[in-house]
Structure 1
Amino acid sequence: TTNDALFVAFSASSSQGDPATKEVLRYREALWEGFGALKKRPLLTTNLFIRLVQTIRKNKAGIRNTPGTKVQNAATGKTIFTPPEGERLLRDKLKNLEDYIHTEDGVDPLVKLAVIHYQFEAIHPFTDGNGRTGRILNSLFLVQRGLLDLPVLYLSKYIIQHKSDYYRLLRAVTEKQQWEPWILYILDAVQETADFTRKRIIDIRDLLEETAQLAKQKLPSRVYSRELLEMIFRQPYTKVQFLVEAGIAKRQTAAEYLKALEAVEILAAQKKGKEVLYVNTRLYALLSK
């Protein structure tokens, strides 16, 4: 899906969207559902995995119980491995994975992350959605171990860019027990993704401060507030309803604030479907890089 389709979907009232956009929105919903569950009960369990995949797939999916499943390289069609079958066996293996996740064994959490990622992929507990659920599990594990405050380390970009290595190294663990190259691959993914994410956060923070200075100079004092500026940096598109829900202003005043931001070229109004959204043009450009 395109960046614009995603950004609009995060803000628009309509549930319209292409299948790829809806898939990403469900992934985001599952990620934050998992984060909320972890805050209430800091355990990564089979029941939580099932909740995640049900949110991702928008159905009552459970543990896979159909035979004949194979994990294949999407590009070549080559079988990487054949996962175990039978719900009871899969639940036993997931219980073993739970035990490994929660055991304090002195192993570095990033090394454990690599092992957990492989094991979940190898168990392949669901008929569909295993990859997305596994990637959410990555972030939630790092939160649980205190390495992240929020689940914002997305390894998907790195894995997609190095997909042939991903499948090759998965297979090497399965067939030859070659763990070291796989672990190093995941460590590289974490480092590169962390560096990218840190730089992106710094760039957004710097842009926020630049925009705040511009807004102070150009906006009427009754319009400018730090709260308003931070609101338009939550995501690229904003609208009157967001300001109202945040308690910044009532509807008519909120509309005036957004029009004032448009007048000084911080925001640009765009008609999306039946509603008007306001895009933070510089933030949009930054996130689209």
Structure 2
Amino acid sequence: MQLERFASSPIGDLRPISGTDGRNGRTYEHCAYVAHPLSTEPVLSGQTWRAVTSASRALAQLDQASRQVPNPRILRRPTLTREAQSTSALEGTFAPIDEVLAADESDPAGYSAELIEVINYIRAADDAFDFVAEQRVITTSLIETAHKQLVDGTESETRDAGRVRRCQVAIGSPDGTIESSRFVPMPPGPDLEASVRDLVTWMNDSTAARDPLVAAAMSHYQFETLHPFNDGNGRIGRLLIVLQLMVDGLLQEPLLSVSPWFETRRSEYQDELANVSISGEWDSWVQFFSAAVEASAIDTANRVNLMLDAQRDYSQRLQDSGYRGGLARDIVEILVESPIVRVPNLARRFGKSPQGVDQAVQRLVKVGVLKGPYGTYRKVYIAQEVHRAITSRSS
């Protein structure tokens, strides 16, 4: 880490560290950056506040889009799938989104390590969303549980899974040494554990006079700067953005997917976070964060509308065909959350015979709701309009 860049930070200090790097056995003497606890909302420019206002307006429109259906939870899975695939890609884990959409979480045998990590994220996020929707609070235990779920069954599952790290870490080292790293977060120990607790308390402070979007930007910076886990900090940190927006009432249903926007701007994202530590100036980061939220909220709302339009079209096609089978209608209802389907999976889901499900699927193929069969064994069917709404590149 270029210590001279961080030496004059007004919102953190450099702390000497030394030890033996467990990755390569080298001894080191360097410094880590220790962020001060978050305090009051910073003074921001008019340009920044305009960006915050635009982002908040886009979030309100996304929240309104989620209220178009009696059960908005069906919209959670497609947006969460897209977020899971992209947030993992930001951390170097790449799984094709079609594999994620088609995955049967109840039967992960034979899945790649990359796909397992992405599925783990979906499970962890789903449980966290349910907890916050009910409790309206973020807890240290919630964050640790999400981390444990995230690394379950992966190479990152160590004795520190689901707990604040007990070793020094470094970020972005070209040669594997701490000295050459882009950033060295604070050392492990009681101070790091206390800093995580302080952040969680700050995030839940409903009495503070602050804008919720600015608070989310500040919290995300703080979490990534603390880097409390051995691995998965980026994914957990971006999950916390949505959780905090839920706690503060900006989102009722957790449909926001911010990682695709950050993924296409990875270097700028990393630089903006580092520049807060270096300068103590928040304007540029809050503007960048607000742009991410605004663009992501607009993009997600557009995708939600396209998925709901497709579902209405599917229902109308089935009705116009004169088909009266209830199973085909049930399948149409779940295509928004599962646009890639297989007969055996549908049979398990609905508790029906494969023969009965196959008949319903063939009816949906005949009326143009499903396309297929595809795949090596000709068992995969796709609701193409929903699939396109989820997987198309952002405009």
TM-score, normalising length: structure 1? 0.88
Which structure carries more relative contact order (alpha carbon 8 Å, separation 6+)? 2
Deviation at 1:166, TM superposition (A): 1.2
Aligned AA for 1:49?
Answer: I
* In 1: Cα distance, 2:182 partner to 2:221 partner: 12
Deviation at 1:269, TM superposition (A): 4.1
* In 1: Cα distance, 2:271 partner to 2:173 partner: 9
C-alpha distance 182-205 of structure 1, shift in aligned 2 (>3 A): same
Deviation at 1:19, TM superposition (A): 2.4
* In 2: Cα distance, 1:270 partner to 1:6 partner: 18
What's 1:24 paired with?
118
Instruction: Tell me the alpha carbon deviations over residues 177-229 of structure 1, each in whole angstroms, 9 at most, x when there is no partner.
Output: 01111011111100000000001111111112222222222252335865442
C-alpha distance 192-210 of structure 1, shift in aligned 2 (>3 A): same
What's 1:264 paired with?
367
Higher mean displacement: 103-112 or 267-276 = 267-276
Deviation at 1:242, TM superposition (A): 3.3
Instruction: Tell me the alpha carbon deviations over residues 95-123 of structure 1, each in whole angstroms, 9 at most, x when there is no partner.
Output: 11012111121211100000000000011
Aligned AA for 1:24?
Answer: V
Question: What RMSD in Å do the two structures reach over aligned CA positions?
Answer: 2.6
Deviation at 1:83, TM superposition (A): 1.0
The reply to whether residue 86 of structure 1 matches residue 180 of structure 2 is no
Aligned AA for 2:172?
Answer: Q
What's 2:200 paired with?
98
Q: Indicate if the aligned counterparts of 1:80 and 1:167 stay in contact, CA closer than 8 A.
A: no
Q: Indicate if the aligned counterparts of 1:267 and 1:279 stay in contact, CA closer than 8 A.
A: yes
Please show how residues 204-283 of structure 1 align to structure 2 within 5 Å. Answer: 204-222=307-325, 226-240=329-343, 241-242=345-346, 245-246=349-350, 251-270=354-373, 276-283=379-386
Deviation at 1:9, TM superposition (A): 1.3
Please show how residues 1-289 of structure 1 align to structure 2 within 5 Å. Answer: 1-10=95-104, 13-58=107-152, 59=157, 61=161, 62-67=163-168, 69-72=169-172, 79-103=181-205, 104-222=207-325, 226-240=329-343, 241-242=345-346, 245-246=349-350, 251-270=354-373, 276-289=379-392
* In 2: Cα distance, 1:73 partner to 1:184 partner: 28
Q: Indicate if the aligned counterparts of 1:219 and 1:264 stay in contact, CA closer than 8 A.
A: no
Higher mean displacement: 208-217 or 27-36 = 208-217
C-alpha distance 73-27 of structure 1, shift in aligned 2 (>3 A): farther
* In 2: Cα distance, 1:107 partner to 1:140 partner: 17
Aligned AA for 1:91?
Answer: E
Aligned AA for 1:87?
Answer: G
Instruction: Tell me the alpha carbon deviations over residues 151-194 of structure 1, each in whole angstroms, 9 at most, x when there is no partner.
Output: 22121111111222212211111111011110111111000000
Higher mean displacement: 151-160 or 108-117 = 151-160
What's 2:21 paired with?
none
* In 1: Cα distance, 2:139 partner to 2:331 partner: 40
Higher mean displacement: 174-183 or 207-216 = 207-216
Deviation at 1:278, TM superposition (A): 2.6
* In 2: Cα distance, 1:242 partner to 1:224 partner: 10
* In 1: Cα distance, 2:116 partner to 2:135 partner: 28
Higher mean displacement: 205-214 or 235-244 = 235-244
* In 1: Cα distance, 2:346 partner to 2:252 partner: 25
Deviation at 1:256, TM superposition (A): 1.7
Equivalent position SS for 1:262? helix
Q: Indicate if the aligned counterparts of 1:70 and 1:83 stay in contact, CA closer than 8 A.
A: yes
Aligned residues: 285
C-alpha distance 150-273 of structure 1, shift in aligned 2 (>3 A): farther
Deviation at 1:243, TM superposition (A): 5.9
Q: Indicate if the aligned counterparts of 2:339 and 2:382 stay in contact, CA closer than 8 A.
A: yes
Gaps of 5+ in 2: 1-94
Q: Indicate if the aligned counterparts of 1:5 and 1:21 stay in contact, CA closer than 8 A.
A: yes
Gaps of 5+ in 1: none
* In 1: Cα distance, 2:367 partner to 2:329 partner: 16
Deviation at 1:268, TM superposition (A): 3.1
Q: Indicate if the aligned counterparts of 2:328 and 2:361 stay in contact, CA closer than 8 A.
A: no
